[in-house]
Structure 1
Amino acid sequence: MTTSSQLSRDLTANVAALSDKSVALMHQRKMSDDDVETFQNILQKVQQTHDPKAALRSLSADELDVVRQAHGLAEPIKISVLSDEGAANLLNAPGYTHDLNNDGLTTIGEGNMFTFPPENAPASFKAAWEEASDGLSIMDIPTHMIFAVGLANIGREPGDPNWVNPYASPDYDYGNAVSEIMDSVEYQYNHNMMSFEQYQKNMSFYNKLTTAMD
């Protein structure tokens, strides 16, 4: 459950100065330097407001549109339909949004994105994943772990009381999960369910990940 203090902390994070990462993301979204500065001013303006929706309501239409652009949203922001997490993440810098309710999704405005590595994953696993995926395109990274939340919730929508986040427990065993995936890849290849090229690509990544986790 997300508490008001969590939302407050999230709302006030990363507003002293936008990181190079955030600025680069906004420039990729075709925002001008003036709009980037306006977005930073918005974050500073609302940082003492503990209610993200109230903070959004305090903004002008033009300011709301800058927030929309900063997060690459296609549709205008409709504050009344936002969840607390969706509202709070609009008031975080791009690249620094959070899965506040630990459901395996990061809600930004009305949109949901898979969060991987998960917010609560050990720092050691996050570092290992970054090392293993360094230099790879999104097409070259196996998706077994990335889409585990979606596969665990086929037929359910976010917010469903039966929604499951496989990574919710802080004691989740990432090493065991990688080992089980590698066994599955071996099985699929040995039973002609996977091409040799795909087998090599998957095993190369997971071997590198395993080494980085040691």
Structure 2
Amino acid sequence: MSIKSVDNTTPNAIQQRHLIQSPGKNFFTDFKAAYARYELPSTTASESSVSDPQNQTPSVAGIADVMGLTFSEMAAVRGTSTQDQNAYAAILNRAYSQGGMDDPVAFLNSLTKEEQGVVQRAHLLVDPVEPSTMSKEGAYNLLLPDGYQVDFNHDGIQEVGAGKNITFPPLDAPEQVKQAWLTATKDMAEGDMMTYQLKMHFMLYGVDINDQTGKALAPTDQIDSYRDGVDKFLAWLEYAKASIPAEQYARDKAFFSDMKRLLI
């Protein structure tokens, strides 16, 4: 239920928080099965508590089997309460079991204000959930646990609620690109890694003007697109070297040279 490794490269804690993947064809079935197993102890708790006075409802650690490692780690970072984690899992199970993902905007609109508050806190949204302000993609991503998102219009930007997130690698990036990214950023501070996420995004999609997003400059599911982009960025670095601070030039040169080597 989470990205645990890419080929032979295991993401560190910082990388894990930023990696996303599309929910596969078995995602919803697997989630519902895991949730059913997670619910089982609570339904029998009253019967077993006599012989086991320590018997309690499932712990936060157990919910990682349902929601995934990334969700559990982000819940710890955000300080999401156990109650909200359990309530959010129950909301997702309803959405997946009752056809809510066919029209996620309508499903979110059907939730009570209290339940919408759970979704808001689970994603650490600044503003309350207002389904009328979001697209299908934005609503859909609110109903996926951390680590999973969709990009219906393939613009490299994931709408989450009414907001937008830029991530790298793209959801359809080849496995070698994902491995190269993990290797090149494994020792980076989170802020530096996010900076290079933006640089790589702009390399693939260009710079948005007037908040107008578009398609990728080259197919994001083909490794040659990344190879060509890295080559062009390295060429631009040499062209603009005189106007770039020496430290920035050295950092960018080292990073993109590393990516070039890893993408061969």
TM class by shorter chain equals 0.7 to 0.9
Pairwise CA distance, 1:41 = 1.1
Could you tell me which of 144, 159, 166 is aligned with 2:217? Answer: 166
Classify 1:166/1:59 alpha carbon distance in 2 versus 1 (closer, same or farther; 3 Å): same
- Shift in Å, 1:147: 3.3
Is the alpha carbon distance of 1:149 and 1:72 closer, same or farther for their aligned partners in structure 2, counting shifts above 3 Å? farther
Is the 1:8–1:51 contact (alpha carbons within 8 Å) kept by the matching residues of 2? no
* Alignment CA distance shift 1:129-1:169 (3 Å): closer
Q: Pick the aligned partner of 1:101 from 149, 153, 162.
A: 153
Q: Report the Cα distance in structure 1 between the residues aligned to 2:161 and 2:114, rounded to whole angstroms.
A: 17
2:247 maps to 1:197: yes
- 2:41 is aligned with 1:41: no
Partner of 2:79: 30
Deviations 1:36-95 (A, max 9, x none): 111111111110312212221232211111111111110011111210100100000022
Pick from 119, 129, 134: which aligns with 2:171? 119
- CA distance in 2 between partners of 1:14 and 1:180 (Å): 42
Specify the alignment match of 2:118 in structure 1: 66
Q: In 1, are the aligned partners of 2:88 and 2:118 still within 8 Å (CA)?
A: yes
The one-letter code matched in structure 1 to 2:126 is A
Q: Which amino acid aligns with 1:30?
A: G
Question: What does residue 28 of structure 2 align with?
Answer: 12
Secondary structure at the counterpart of residue 67 of structure 2: coil
Distance in 1 (alpha carbons) for counterparts of 2:192 and 2:247: 12
Aligned to 2:259: 209
Q: Match of 1:146, as an amino acid?
A: H
Give the partner amino acid of 1:98. V
Residues 56 and 64, structure 1, Cα contact 8 Å, conserved in 2: yes
Tell me how far apart the structure 2 counterparts of residues 46 and 149 of structure 1 sit (CA, whole Å): 34
1:73–1:150: structure 2 CA closer, same or farther, 3 Å change rule?
Answer: farther
> Post-superposition shift, 1:195?
2.2
Q: Kindly state the Cα deviation for residue 196 of structure 1 after the two structures are TM-superposed.
A: 2.1
Q: Distance in 2 between matches of 1:152 and 1:68?
A: 30
Q: In 2, are the aligned partners of 1:53 and 1:84 still within 8 Å (CA)?
A: yes
Report if the CA contact (8 A) 1:11-1:92 is conserved: no
User: Which among 122, 138, 141 is matched to residue 86 of structure 1?
Assistant: 138
| 1:179 to 2:231 alignment | yes
Give the one of 148, 154, 164 matched to 2:209. 154
CA contact (8 A) 2:156 2:170 kept: yes
Whether the aligned pair in 2 keeps the contact of 1:114 and 1:149 (CA below 8 Å) is no
Count of paired positions? 203
When Rg is computed on C-alpha atoms for both structures, the one with the higher figure is 2
Deviation per CA, 1:9-50: give whole Å up to 9, x if none. 699377341112111112222211121111111111110312
Determine the C-alpha separation between the residues in 1 that align with 2:218 and 2:72. Answer: 30
Aligned partner of 2:131: which letter?
I
Structure whose residues are more often helix by fraction: 2
Give the alignment's TM-score, normalised by structure 1.
0.83
Q: Which residue of 1 aligns with 2:129?
A: 77
Does the aligned pair in 1 maintain the 2:141–2:160 contact within 8 Å?
Answer: yes
Amino acid in the other structure paired with 2:125:
L
Give structure 2 stretches of 5+ with no counterpart: 1-21, 35-65
Q: Answer whether contact 2:205 2:217 (CA < 8 A) is retained.
A: no
Seq. identity, %: 28
What root-mean-square deviation, in Å, do the aligned CA atoms of Structure 1 and Structure 2 show?
2.6
